[in-house]
Amino acid sequence: MFNLKSLITPHLIKGKKCFVAYSGGVDSTVLLNEVGKAANELNSEVEAVHVNHGYSKSSESWEEHCKVFCKKKGFSIKSFQMDSKNLKGASLESLMRERRYEIFQKILIDKTSLLFMGHHLDDQIETLFFRLIRGTGLKGASSIPLKRNLGNGFIVRPFLKVAKEEIIQNAIQNNLSFVEDDSNNNNDFDRNYLRNIVIPKISERWPNYRKSISRSIDNQKDSFEFLTEISKKELVKIVKGEDIKINELKKYDVNFQKILFLSWLENKKCNLPNSAVLEEIINKFIHSEKTSCPKHIWGSKNKGNEVCLIIKKGMMSVEVS
């Protein structure tokens, strides 16, 4: 059993307000309660951030529950409305996630801004399976990071080593009230299918799967971090100013060319290409120097993530729109 508060305290700044993503569900309720305990010891203010997705008939009552809970516990709360009925696309789940993060980004105004999120070990494992099914690489196999940049601040997920069962037990022991999202039973959502159908079968066969998969995720993270450090050192050799020297990039093995190219894009905070586009760039596009100022474009202008690669005089540059 973890001391949940001890997982939170190292991330807090004394006297500085922090935010907690609060849906009203058991994970975020326990998180908010534990952040409150830790923050109180450091004289820090806590503000809950609730996003009303408007996708359920219960959305308004969930928001009201969150406001009542915060008032009872002495937390301030910001509530945001999202009209998910107008969201269209292959994955409503993914689109709602994008909108949530856009909201979170707006409240993280500087480098000391911190938003806690309630993802736990079971979420880690679901994310790993989901990404493996989609053909993820080493970075994706590292699953969810403990801390990462968002906007001008950071998001922190202190419960990534904590099983869902332990979080539920904490809620019971502390007599915390929470809501239950009926959409969690809708197996049309990919994550729900993994959570409700696939993973229980794995658990029946291999009861200790969480421990072994968690260890595997840690190993992938270590490997990814090591490769990232090597990439940084090599990238310096092939970049001039902001652009890549094509002939220098070609000196590397094809697989390492991909790693260096993606590292370059990440440094520029560009929308990364999918595997098919990446293959085309490395195997075809970078060899098209004879064409007058060749270009390669992916992403969408409407979504604000269009990326355009340009090769001119042996140098590859990037434009984002």
Residues 6+ apart with CB under 8 A from 32: 20, 22, 46, 48, 69, 70, 73, 75
Q: In this predicted structure, what is the pLDDT of residue 256? A: 95
The residue type at 84: S
The answer to whether residues 197 and 64 belong to one domain is: yes
76 DSSP β-pair partners: 47
CA-to-CA dists, residue 236 to 82, 117, 267, angstroms: 43, 35, 12
The answer to whether residues 170 and 222 belong to one domain is: no
CATH number for the domain harbouring residue 151: 3.40.50.620
The answer to whether residues 179 and 288 belong to one domain is: no
Q: In this predicted structure, what is the pLDDT of residue 99? A: 87
The answer to whether residues 56 and 98 belong to one domain is: yes
Q: At which of 205, 227, 261 does a domain end? A: 205
CATH number for the domain harbouring residue 277: 1.20.59.20
Per-residue pLDDT in tens (0 to 9) along the chain, 321 residues = 789 999 999 999 999 999 999 999 999 999 999 999 999 999 999 999 999 988 788 899 999 999 999 999 999 999 999 876 666 554 677 778 888 999 999 999 999 999 999 999 999 999 999 999 988 888 889 989 999 999 899 999 999 999 999 999 999 999 999 999 888 888 988 889 999 999 999 999 999 999 999 999 999 999 999 999 999 999 999 999 999 999 999 999 999 999 999 999 999 888 889 888 999 999 989 887 566 678 899 988 877 789 999 998 899 999 987
The answer to whether residues 220 and 166 belong to one domain is: no
The answer to whether residues 201 and 286 belong to one domain is: no
Listing DSSP states for 21-85 in one string gives: E--SSHHHHHHHHHHHHHHHHTT--EEEEEEE---STTHHHHHHHHHHHHHHHT-EEEEEE--GG
Count how many domains the chain has: 2
Residues 6+ apart with CB under 8 A from 299: 271, 305, 306, 307
Q: At which of 205, 234, 264 does a domain end? A: 205
Question: Where would I find the H helices in the chain?
Answer: 4-8, 26-41, 59-73, 92-107, 121-133, 138-141, 164-173, 190-193, 199-205, 209-238, 246-249, 254-267, 275-283
The answer to whether residues 239 and 309 belong to one domain is: yes
The span from the CA of 103 to the CA of 51, in Å, is 8
Q: In this predicted structure, what is the pLDDT of residue 300? A: 82
How many other β-carbons are positioned within 10 Å of the β-carbon of residue 195? 20
The answer to whether residues 56 and 194 belong to one domain is: yes
Q: In this predicted structure, what is the pLDDT of residue 294? A: 83
The answer to whether residues 124 and 245 belong to one domain is: no
The answer to whether residues 201 and 285 belong to one domain is: no
The answer to whether residues 276 and 180 belong to one domain is: no
Structural domain of 287: 214-320
The answer to whether residues 41 and 147 belong to one domain is: yes
Q: At which of 157, 178, 205 does a domain end? A: 205
Which pTM was predicted? 0.86
Q: In this predicted structure, what is the pLDDT of residue 46? A: 97
